[in-house]
A and B are shown apart, each in its own frame.
Chain A
Amino acid sequence: MSQPLEGLRLVATLPPHDWFGGIDYNFAIEMTEELRRLGAEVFDLHVGGFTTQNDIYIRSAIDALKSFRPDAAISLPNALYILLCATPDRQNIFTDVLQIPTLMLWDHGLLQLPQQIVGPLPLDPKESTGGCIRRIKSVLSHPLYLHYSPDRGHIAALDKLGIVDRSNVRFFLQPAYPNYVRYGYRTPSPSAFRTRMAFAGNVYLKATDTLPFRQEPELAALEARVQAAKKARLTDCLWDLITSEIDALDAPTRKRLRLDANHSFFWGFMHEEIETMGNTNARLGVLTALKRDFDFYGNFVEPGSVARLRDQYHMRFRKCLDYFNELPLLFMNSDIIVDVVNLGYNTGVSPKIMGCFACGGFILFDYKEDFHQGMGDAANEVMYRNLDELNAKVEEFLGNPRKRRDVARYLQNRVCSEYNFAALSKKILVDEPAWRR
């Protein structure tokens, strides 16, 4: 039987294996394996050699790629890594050297891509540099890039900033990674990480405490207003809350504080406010409002903050889990996982959400419009809009295991059949092959 990607020759990026604890590398490996399973021939391009400008490797990689004759390039696990693949004279391997269509699968691209292009991002307005929009735009607007975003909010925000036209970015609902789909077909040891209710993720207490721009009173005040607004309106996306607060500042203040997308400080500020401050505050806010006991897993970014989680927030911290082998077991063996979707997503969901459903878990998370559009009304069963609704859902699903199982199985089926990486690959490479145009 012929495979859907048979005959396709793809080059895929493999991140350095020691970045982000190896998670991105593992994801990329799994995704390339999935592409192969679907019939494609895949050239693994290791990005590490480019990060140290190893010209011997770069030359040999280019030669090997030329002889491989790829039809297209695909960024794995996300678009960031395509941007790193450049020669010492700054020619991008895919668009400038090979000149092939390059599929850019964004993660939370709104924060990630500008950081890569104009970084390192300053955390002091005085060190800000200008011209960011032009620089980001000039990189991302290359005609050979085919952009795909898992977040309609990101597409709209970048369009509004004049960086990427919304018509040039295609939306996809975040897929589950292959590993989690595979776990869905396994029978786990029932006692492994068995919990009634759990949270798995990171909060950044230490980093939040040391954000340098809080020394600037106006920035600190802005941050306080934003966090208060987020607390009051849980489902509003933080990006919008911050930008509206910035818009409310008078022009000279905005200019002095470099709170303008054309300035590198703006991107640094947004990144830290959303990824560090936002995630920490929003998650702690939700978790401390839970009326039921739960187990806290993860926090691998700040293992040193565990004591504070225990002592100050009275959380029952368990352990840091391996993302690939242990986290699926937690999902599968927990009655309920509670989550606050990474605030880097405006309207989309993170791979964790889809991974949990894929392996048969049940997760409650804050409302995300893209998930609702993709899954229909069933999505409402697992999304909360406020803390009362969350607590009510927790009680309902803990008290009704059959309903919990029904919802989980329905969503698992949808994810494993429609919203997984294999399905996405087939869609963007075969069914809707924008790259062939």
Chain B
Amino acid sequence: MISIVLYGRNDSHGYNLPKRAAISFNCMAEVLRDPDDEILFVDCNTSNELPTFIEAIYDTLTPKAKSVLRVFRMRPQLYWRMVGHTHLFATEPHTRNVAIRRSNPRNRWILTTNTDMVFVLDKSISSLGDAVRDLPDGQYIAPRFEVPEPVWESFPRSDPQEIIRLCEDLGPRLHLHEVALRVPYMRFDSPGDFQLMPRQTLFDICGFDERMTHGWHADSNMCKRLCLYFGNRTESLAHLVKGYHCDHTRVPTPLHQTDIKLENNLQQFVWDMEEAVAHHQKDTWGAPNEPVEELDFSNGPAARYLCALTETLGGPQQAPYPTDANDARNFVFYYPEHALPYVAAHFTVYPPDARFVYAGNNPRMLELIAECAARMQFTRPLHYVAELLSGGSAPAGTLPADPQPAGDESLERHLAANYDLIIFDFGLDQTGLNLGQVARVTDWPRELRYSLGAVARSLEACSEQCDRLQRSGGRYADFLALNAVHYVFQRFIGQFMLATETPYPVHIRKGRARVGEDRRYKGSPWKYNEDLMRSYFAYDEADHSLAVVAPGHALDLTSQGRSARYKDGDWGAMDYTGSWIDGYRAAIVFQPDPSLTGDLVAYLRITEGFLNLDDHPIHLKVFFEGEQLARWTIYMRYEISRCKVVLPLRLMAGKTSCRLELRPQDPQSAQQILIAKGQQPVSEDPRELSIKVQQILFTGSDRLACPLNQAIDFTRQGAGLYHLDECWTNPDDLGAWTLGPEAGLDVLVPEPIDGLINAVFTITDAAVSAEQSEIGVTVAVNGLDLATWTIPTRFTEQRRILVPAHILESQRPARFTFRIDAPRSPKQLGWNSSDQRPLGFRFTKLELRPAGSLRYRLGALIDFAEGGDSITFIGDGLGSQWTAPDPYGSWTIGAESSMKVSFETAPAGDLPAAFVISDCNLGGSSPRLPVRVKANGHVVGDWTLGPDREAHKRSINIPAAVLAGSSELTLTFEIPDVQPAASLGWSDDPRPLGIRLARAVIGSAHIEIPLLGPQPPAKRPMIRRILGLPFFAVHVGRIVAKVALKKWQER
């Protein structure tokens, strides 16, 4: 019989709208009896994120109201398309027309009214149908009575009969019945609150005038037109119906603000209106061809929400899910089953034919969403972005988003333009990974982690496409981000998405892309976060394939570079200074160039060391292909350290993937350090830091080449730093200092070596002072001690050692190590007040020279002291039978020590030999030391040394028969009763030492006892000093001129 037409919006129009409207809906339903009667509500322009107004108050409606209610949703995009320019969020003509067009054609009457009206019928009738059944066609208006706010506010909204009774009762009791008249074609004031007309008539006159977009007077316009249509008559229904209006002007609505009220032109639309039919909108009124959604309260997505969820989830939760709202360790994980209800909740506001697409790499979540969406009766299957889904296969019933959009359209453009909602998932599925306790996000497999970078790139690209679509006036998809409610993902999506700040346990953010003025520039907060996104998720790099590494390949691990494809394991945050190692295993993975023919050398430049509060150095073990190759020690916190490791060809040959792994031995907890400094962390800081690497340079081992007779320069300008290990300071203009108790350098002698090599070291400073004199240095090559130096002054000096040929093989680098007895810091030495670095000596130059002939000429002196040539004769016995030469000679080690002499020509006859013994190992219970000397196995002397330990001479005679024409002689010193030096209290040297030989001569019984130990500088002859005077004068003149020039400039 009758269709009641209402409109509204899920907002806060007036105040207490839900109650007012519930009263109205329930009471209107109460006066409808005919089976065809209906209440049509057009939900106009409710934000897409929200349910319709009716859904919002559905629980407060009576069963009767629910049974007669039909709801049409006019979404914002349709509203703005239909209405065009208006300041209103809902307009009366358009919405009413939409409802009229879709009203039940069996109903003869349309009643247009509002959601704040209560109708009270005359006692002679029981329903509105009774009132209108026998009426002739015409326009009927009823007067309305104002119900004060406190009155309707006290009404029980779910009891319409009681409300109607109260109106009936209170109307007269409170003197509310005032009938306000208007002009004849309107009859009463506010005719729009009860305006009854035949449905057919409305179709005949083409509905409400949709040009009226500024509010007010749509009812007056309709009154005037219907009055014209019905022969200048407008009827009253006051005798049958009383309309009670729940007044709501405690606060002004946009329509009721008196000082800035906008309204439709009365002159145009009412006073001058002479035409009943709105011909101008003959074919368009009420949007006849628009598919306006009609809500299905019994089987629509919202209605099926709970049921679909419970069916999808399968069974109840067994125990609470433990999570951490500040989680910075395992923040790529969430419980999919827990997140699903919140995801699906957002689906309820979409129409059943909505298009959803999933952009993520969490197969479990995809499966749940797909099933739930299907159970909610969405008619289109869930799509997914196949490129992003690498962690598993898509479930049945889902379809890939078109991977090859038409024309030049990018995938992101396709997603933004063709879907209603894009679900970006920043979580990962840990099914089957067996991760155990996740200490840091890098415990997740790299490719899974990096897949989230791809999701992030996708979100950013979609956001840009949305901006373009918006600029061209197009529609674009909503965004829903999963697992982006805290930490880096939250900050990331905030750059590109406008979304409400949801609580952590919800795990989702729903919103839209930032477009137009809402777009953000990429300032400092973005840069911080971008670096983290790049560090953990390769946000900026799509290609993760292994890079081919050959000599010359350089890798920038700062945020200026692209290093994600090389990184695996515990690489932490990265910024413009480098990448932290955060954890216990950080690896560089690469493919060695198949054409490699030699070793590679990897040089690491370290910009920061996370030393503990005591500045203890950081130790790292270096593994390549599972084999430990080096152990590094990092001493410096903020200065550059350089580390290197030689990667042997044998470990790379034939491989397509190699792994260089750095394993810090004692990473420091950032949180503990902070607390130890007396500061309080804001939340848990799980970082365990060791070093920050800026770059890695791969070279061939030729970079370590040290050709004979060519000096290597260890100053800033030289190439020496390529040879140094990490235990050196940065080279300055004078060289590099050793750092810590042991520093090393590697050299590769490129040409084959014949004979011994004389290694000449230029030292330009040492960590000594007047109070802390001398610094002891033991020099070894490939682990073999060759010399022990005592550096007494800070003057420049050269030191030499002879290196046996077999140590310096060509093809393989040899390592010189310098063990510093007692490194000292500049602060200890009083050089400055802050420098705590443990220094030894400053090294400026190294040159390797051939040592010349190895054949012995009879009568030549063999020097066993430091810088001497004893290594020629000791050979392999150095280190095992003889100690490294020191300024006083070389000690025998153990019970038997030999030296081998090859003569230039075989000697004839008996052969005398003499020795200078600078010390012997006496003491304790052994005041005397027996020594047996053998030549080629024959005893040629028995000495007894002691109790005096002064340097002295000894000699032997070697009978001709012992040599028997041979040109080789082996002299052996047998000392059966040797004691460890340490046991005698001399030093902590545990080796059993015998005698210390300073020099020897064969073929002569005469030998001089030299001045042993460090020598004072030689005096220059007077004549040379006189000849040098002019040069000295020039030198002084230069200095004076330089000082004067400087003073002049400074003046």
Q: Which residues of A contact B (CB under 8 A)?
A: 16-18, 21-23, 25-26, 29-30, 33, 46, 48-49, 51-57, 60-61, 130-131, 134, 262, 324
Contacts and interface: CB of A to CB of B under 8 A. Distances in A.
A131 B578 CA distance: 35
A134 B577 CA distance: 32
Contact of A33 (B521, B558, B1049, B1051): B521
B1016 to A, nearest CB: 36
B905 to A, nearest CB: 57
A324 B523 contact: yes
A227 to B, nearest CB: 30
A23 B695 CA distance: 28
Given A16-B576, A48-B577, A262-B1050, A54 B694 contact: yes
A54 B607 CA distance: 10
B650 interface: no
B528 interface: yes
A57 B524 contact: no
Given A29-B523, A134-B1049, A18 B558 contact: no
Interface in B1001-1051: 1046, 1049-1051
B560 A29 contact: no
A57 B560 CA distance: 7
Interface in B633-670: 640
B556 A54 contact: yes
Given A21-B524, A52-B577, A54-B576, 7 more contacts: A25-B527, A46-B576, A48-B559, A56-B695, A130-B1050, A131-B1049, A131-B1050
B681 interface: no
Interface in B686-742: 694-695
Interface in B570-592: 575-578
Nearest to A47: B576
A363 to B, nearest CB: 24
A177 B558 CA distance: 30
Nearest to A262: B1050
B720 to A, nearest CB: 16
B908 interface: no
Contacts of A21: 524
A61 B555 CA distance: 15
A49 B558 contact: yes
Interface of B: 521-525, 527-528, 554-556, 558-561, 575-578, 607, 640, 694-695, 1046, 1049-1051
27 contacts: A17-B576, A22-B525, A26-B523, A26-B524, A29-B521, A29-B522, A29-B523, A30-B521, A30-B523, A48-B560, A48-B575, A49-B558, A51-B577, A52-B577, A52-B578, A52-B640, A52-B694, A54-B576, A54-B577, A54-B694, A54-B695, A56-B556, A57-B558, A60-B556, A130-B1050, A131-B1049, A324-B523
A186 B555 CA distance: 46
A29 B575 CA distance: 18
A48 B561 CA distance: 12
A41 to B, nearest CB: 18
Give the residue among B522, B523, B555, B640 with the most A Cβ atoms within 10 A: B523
Contacts of B521: 26, 29-30, 33
Majority-rule SS of B interface residues = mixed
A49 B528 contact: no
A18 B561 contact: no
B561 A57 contact: yes
Nearest to B560: A57
What are the 9 closest A-B residue pairs judged by CB atoms, nearest first? A22-B524, A48-B576, A17-B527, A130-B1050, A26-B523, A57-B560, A56-B556, A17-B524, A25-B524
Contacts of A134: 1049-1050
Between B524, B559, B576, B1050, the greatest number of chain A beta carbons within 10 A of the residue's beta carbon is seen for B524
Given A16-B576, A52-B607, A130-B1046, A46 B560 contact: yes
Interface of A (DSSP majority class): helix
Contacts of B561: 56-57
Contact of A17 (B528, B694, B1046, B1049): B528
A229 to B, nearest CB: 29
A16 B576 CA distance: 8
Nearest to A179: B521
A77 B694 CA distance: 26
A158 B368 CA distance: 71
A130 B527 CA distance: 40
A191 to B, nearest CB: 18
Contacts of B694: 52, 54
A33 B708 CA distance: 58
Contacts, number: 78
A393 B694 CA distance: 56
Nearest to B530: A17
Contact of B523 (A25, A54, A55): A25
Nearest to A129: B1050
Contacts of B640: 52-53
Contacts of B607: 52
Nearest to B578: A52
Contacts of A324: 523
Nearest to B608: A52
A49 B555 CA distance: 14
A30 B554 CA distance: 33
Nearest to B696: A56
Contact of A49 (B523, B576, B1050, B1051): B576
A49 B527 contact: no
Nearest to A50: B576
A22 B523 contact: yes
A57 B556 contact: yes
A54 B560 contact: yes
A434 B694 CA distance: 39
Nearest to A53: B640
A54 B558 contact: yes
Contacts of A57: 556, 558, 560-561
A177 to B, nearest CB: 12
Nearest to A58: B560
Contacts of A18: 524, 528, 575
B690 to A, nearest CB: 18
Contacts of B1050: 130-131, 134, 262
A51 B575 CA distance: 12
A338 to B, nearest CB: 28
Nearest to A27: B523
A63 B461 CA distance: 28
A16 B560 CA distance: 11
A370 to B, nearest CB: 29
A421 to B, nearest CB: 14
A21 B528 CA distance: 11
A371 to B, nearest CB: 28
B21 to A, nearest CB: 30
A21 B555 CA distance: 29
Contacts of A60: 556, 560
B686 to A, nearest CB: 21
A130 B1049 CA distance: 9
Contacts of A262: 1050-1051
A56 B561 CA distance: 9
A334 B828 CA distance: 57
A48 B577 CA distance: 7
A354 to B, nearest CB: 19
Contacts of A52: 558, 576-578, 607, 640, 694
B642 to A, nearest CB: 12
Contacts of B555: 56
Contacts of B558: 48-49, 52, 54, 57
A55 B696 CA distance: 11
A56 B607 CA distance: 14
Given A46-B576, A48-B576, A49-B560, A56 B524 contact: no
Contacts of B527: 17, 22, 25
A130 B1048 CA distance: 11
A262 B1050 CA distance: 6
A322 to B, nearest CB: 9
B256 to A, nearest CB: 22
Q: Which of A54, A55, A60 has the most CB of B within 10 A?
A: A54
